[in-house]
Amino acid sequence: MLAVPRADLAPNTFAFETTPLVKPTGFREYDARWMFGQEINLLGVQALGLGLGTYIQELGHKKIVVGHDFRSYSLSIKQALTLGLVSAGCEVLDIGLAVSPMAYFAQFALDAPCVAMVTASHNENGWTGVKMGAQRPLTFGPEEMGRLKDIVLKGEFAQRDGGRMVQVADFAERYIAEVSEGLNLTRPLKVIAACGNGTAGAFAPEALRRMGVAEVVEMDCELDWTFPKYNPNPEDQVMLHAMAKTVRELGADLALGFDGDGDRCGVVDDEGEEIFADKIGLMLARDLSALHKNATFVVDVKSTGLYATDEVLKANGATTVYWKTGHSYIKRKTAELKALAGFEKSGHFFFNDPIGRGYDDGLVAAAAILAMLDRNPGRKLSDLKKALPVAYTSLTMSPHCADEEKYAVVDEVVAEYTALRDAGGKILGRAITDLITVNGVRVALEDGSWVLVRASSNKPELVVVVESARSEDDMRALFREEVKPRLAKRPQVGRYNQEI
């Protein structure tokens, strides 16, 4: 039996090679994320697998799908995780190199209730993690992660005989056939497939071709786990700017960008303009609500306020619910409300029947966007964007804040904004009309503008987004004159990953 994991081991020592290292901070709200070698070692990953196997057997399950993304260490991590799962008596179905939605699809295709996908998603090299679920199409939330954390850190493992591992051959073909089925474009489109040298590069171009895209231009689709140009993150302006440049140079109809594990999709239109996923979601909601009257949509608190005021959605009887940011939260709320779709500003799209199976899949999102264009002959993506009401939304900005401190900092900020509202205070001359506090605090102002501060669910960071109903300059002022100075008063808050 493995020893109880420790959090204080140093690499290149006897203890590191003989004892599981698992830092408690890696158990996040709905994913598990660690710096490999610094916060978890291979024995720690094995302990995670044994703990996960113990937990899913508590839930009455035994069969679990595993896959891994394309990083230099992901295969060895998956093997260590599998060793732990097998020792817990689980039947492990290994689909090999995969994007996360391929593993989610495998739960349905292979009739397996559980999944453990080894991926650090869009995080920088050095990070690793596991996305887990035991109730398709949902992934773990705080309650499940809390129980798993207890089992692993306390060493409450239940080792069982009868475990085994089965390698599933050629599963990628089944996945590509699934995501491309039912779409055969009637208008010729030239589409940039941008993958940032991440895992999606092995699957996205072929899937887009099978959807009927006339010309697929591969951009950084060669797998390279050093990520030589930029991190595969379609919410990051470096990747978005590279996509925009390629669209303008080649005269493409649009660019579709996929993150490191293929569950997110970023978009650049035919004019080389980046469209954040919440605005793409609004365009999709307008299009789909005309086909599915009285539909419900779920959006995260980082998303534009236009959903609440859009006249097209109102005319189609659509309802929009704002909810907590995070793929697990939006996925659960979309399922709970039987919503047609859920959208996150980060690029996670969730489609229920008849469009998808409820989980986030960058290629299913790409298919939905292409189908929308096919239903609007003669209109470019830029035309659909220009038809939206105007709102000026910032990039997602993330100042560093330690995992042990970030939630307390956010609690302080929530209290400050609550006191400011109760005292009748104003932000840049505007009264506060509402506070949404399901996930940090979203401060709504009387003209429809808003600011958001929340804790990142999977990194030692805060998350900041602002939106102005007035102008781009006002959007920058909301950040530079309101949110940034407020956070700067706190020494726990460090440098931003990007700023406006």
The pLDDT tens digits for 92-118 are: 999 999 999 999 999 999 999 999 999
Percent share of the chain, pLDDT over 70: 100
- Which amino acid, 348? H
Q: Please state whether beta strands 450-455 and 462-468 pair in parallel, antiparallel, or not at all (unpaired).
A: antiparallel
Asked if 87 and 164 count as a contact pair (C-beta separation under 8 A), the reply is: no
**Which among 450, 437, 456, 447 has a CA at the least distance from the CA of 494?**
456
pLDDT band of 320, cuts 50, 70, 90 = very high
pLDDT computed for residue 218 by the predictor = 98
Query: Is the pLDDT assigned to residue 301 strictly greater than 90?
Result: no
The lowest-confidence range among 210-214, 259-263, 434-438 is 434-438
pLDDT band of 122, cuts 50, 70, 90 = confident
Fold category of 392-488 in CATH: TATA-Binding Protein (3.30.310)
- Please indicate whether the domains covering 171-389 and 392-488 agree at the CATH topology level: no
pLDDT computed for residue 405 by the predictor = 96
pLDDT computed for residue 146 by the predictor = 97
Query: Is the pLDDT assigned to residue 120 strictly greater than 80?
Result: yes
Give residue 11's Cα distance to chain centre: 31
Query: Is the pLDDT assigned to residue 188 strictly greater than 80?
Result: yes
CA distance 360 to 344: 10
The CATH code belonging to domain 171-389 is: 3.40.120.10
pLDDT computed for residue 123 by the predictor = 86
Alpha helices for 379-427 (secondary structure H): 381-386, 403-422
CA distance 487 to 472: 21
Query: Is the pLDDT assigned to residue 458 strictly greater than 80?
Result: no
Residue 12 CB partners (closer than 8 Å, separation 6+)? none
Domain boundaries, the chain: 14-169, 171-389, 392-488
pLDDT tens sequence across 396-426: 899 999 999 999 999 999 999 999 999 999 9
pLDDT computed for residue 349 by the predictor = 97
pTM above 0.85, yes or no: yes
**Which 3 state secondary structure label does DSSP give 91?**
strand
- Which amino acid, 262? G
Q: Please state whether beta strands 349-351 and 341-343 pair in parallel, antiparallel, or not at all (unpaired).
A: antiparallel
For the record, the structure tokens of 341 come out as 């779709």
- Which amino acid, 413? V
pLDDT computed for residue 438 by the predictor = 86
**Which among 10, 5, 29, 163 has a CA at the least distance from the CA of 90?**
163
pLDDT tens sequence across 325-362: 888 999 999 999 999 999 998 899 999 999 999 999 99
Buried b (16+ CB within 10 A) or exposed e, 472-486: eebbbebbeebbbeb
Q: Mutual orientation of helices 42-58 and 142-154 as an angle, nearest 10°? A: 120
What average pLDDT does the segment 139-168 reach?
97
**Which among 398, 401, 399, 379 has a CA at the least distance from the CA of 388?**
379
pLDDT tens sequence across 37-93: 999 999 999 999 999 999 999 999 999 999 999 999 999 999 999 999 999 999 999
Q: Length of the chain, please?
A: 500
CA distance 9 to 34: 14
pLDDT computed for residue 457 by the predictor = 82
Of 3.40.50.720, 2.40.50.140, 3.60.15.10, 3.40.120.10, the CATH number of 14-169 is 3.40.120.10
Give residue 454's Cα distance to chain centre: 16
What average pLDDT does the segment 316-329 reach?
92
Percent share of the chain, pLDDT over 90: 92
∠208-213-214 over CA atoms, to 5°? 140
pLDDT band of 194, cuts 50, 70, 90 = very high
Query: Is the pLDDT assigned to residue 237 strictly greater than 80?
Result: yes
Omega cis (within 30) before 354:
yes
| Active site (catalytic) residues | 121
The total of other beta-carbon atoms located within 10 Å of residue 488's CB is 10
For the record, the structure tokens of 140 come out as 């773990």
